[in-house]
Amino acid sequence: MKESVWVAKAREYKLHLAVLVISVIAELLGLQKFKVGPAVLLLIPFVYAFLIALFLNPSMTENYFKGFGKIIGTFEQKAATPCITIGIILFIAKLAVLVGANMDKIIKGGLAMVLQEFGNLGSILITLPIAVLVLRMGRESIGASFSVCREPSLALASEKWGLQSPEGIGAMGTYIVGTVIGALFFSFMGSIFASLNIFHPYALGMASGVGSASMMTAAAATVKELVSPEQADLVMAYAAASNLITTATGMYMSIYLGIPLTEWMYAKFGRK
């Protein structure tokens, strides 16, 4: 039994070696800061790692570098999917240590933490009217805007509407956009807001917990690097705690508040 697991892993050696090489290159490049007007743009190694891997993805290289498919082909592409789910768990473990160690401070900020969860609903108030009134979208807008749509929301949408329905297509759309550019988008958003000084770093930390570990990390890590070391740990701890709450409660929030609110707003703004 134990042998077969290692044999299976050994067959994926090209994938793991490629990830190792890419990670080392990304880390050697290190963190980079650029001043863009009033904002500081922060490039974090995991952003380079994602981009390098994306450009070496077999579905991309078949267009410009066919030979590379021999190293990273569809077998490696398929094998990479569970690695995200499992690898992120060790990362989450380290984050959970930050949460546990700072629990006294997190409890102090508990009220803000709980109430800001409703901010995830607030997005509907901005997104749905623009989708319907400006972009003239139909019922896809409901699926696309009821949440940031990570896996649990996609499962919910598929159960409620089916992925072939207009709402399901909208939900799938937000899910795909998040998968492809979510981490990049959140890291840019994080560095812009952290350097503009509109919100306190702690507020930005809490806000980063949108229910996806990679989006949360991207958003919070940029904030973390732009504040003092004493604040940095607490920013990450707030972000991780908030993300955990969203992971645990986000589905219920969508079922009982998010989807009804979106449907109600669509009925108000939508074309009859």
Nearer to another protein by C-beta: 36 or 118?
118
Nearer to another protein by C-beta: 36 or 181?
181
Rounded to the nearest whole angstrom, what is the least distance from the CB of residue 223 to another protein in the complex?
A: 10
User: Residue 43 has what DSSP assignment?
Assistant: E
User: Which residues have CB under 8 Å from 180's CB, separation 6+?
Assistant: none
Residues within window 106-165 making contact with another protein, judged by CB under 8 A: 108-109, 111-113, 115-127, 130-131, 135, 137, 140-141, 144-145, 147-149, 152, 155-156, 159-160
Rounded to the nearest whole angstrom, what is the least distance from the CB of residue 175 to another protein in the complex?
A: 8
Residues within window 35-54 making contact with another protein, judged by CB under 8 A: 44-47, 49-54
**Is residue 265 involved in binding another protein (CB under 8 A)?**
no
Whole-number Å distance between alpha carbons of 96 and 263: 36
**Is residue 90 involved in binding another protein (CB under 8 A)?**
yes
Which of 168, 191, 195, 215 binds another protein (CB under 8 A)? It is 215
Which of 139, 191, 195, 206 binds another protein (CB under 8 A)? It is 206
**Within 13 A of 232's CA, how many CA atoms are on the CB side?**
9
- Mark 134-157 as b/e (b = at least 16 C-beta within 10 Å): eeebebbbbbbbbbbbbeebbebb
User: Which residues have CB under 8 Å from 23's CB, separation 6+?
Assistant: 45, 49
Residues within window 11-30 making contact with another protein, judged by CB under 8 A: 15-16, 18-20, 22-24, 26-30
- Taking Cα atoms as reference points, which of 100, 84, 96 lies closest to residue 150? 84
Which of 39, 40, 41, 88 binds another protein (CB under 8 A)? It is 88
Which of 39, 41, 179, 263 binds another protein (CB under 8 A)? It is 179
In this structure, what token pair is assigned to residue 267? 């009925």
In this structure, what token pair is assigned to residue 28? 């050697």
Backbone angles phi, psi at 62, to 5 degrees: -60, -15
Beta carbons within 10 angstroms of residue 59's beta carbon: 10
Rounded to the nearest whole angstrom, what is the least distance from the CB of residue 84 to another protein in the complex?
A: 5
Which of 167, 178, 191, 195 binds another protein (CB under 8 A)? It is 178
Rounded to the nearest whole angstrom, what is the least distance from the CB of residue 165 to another protein in the complex?
A: 15
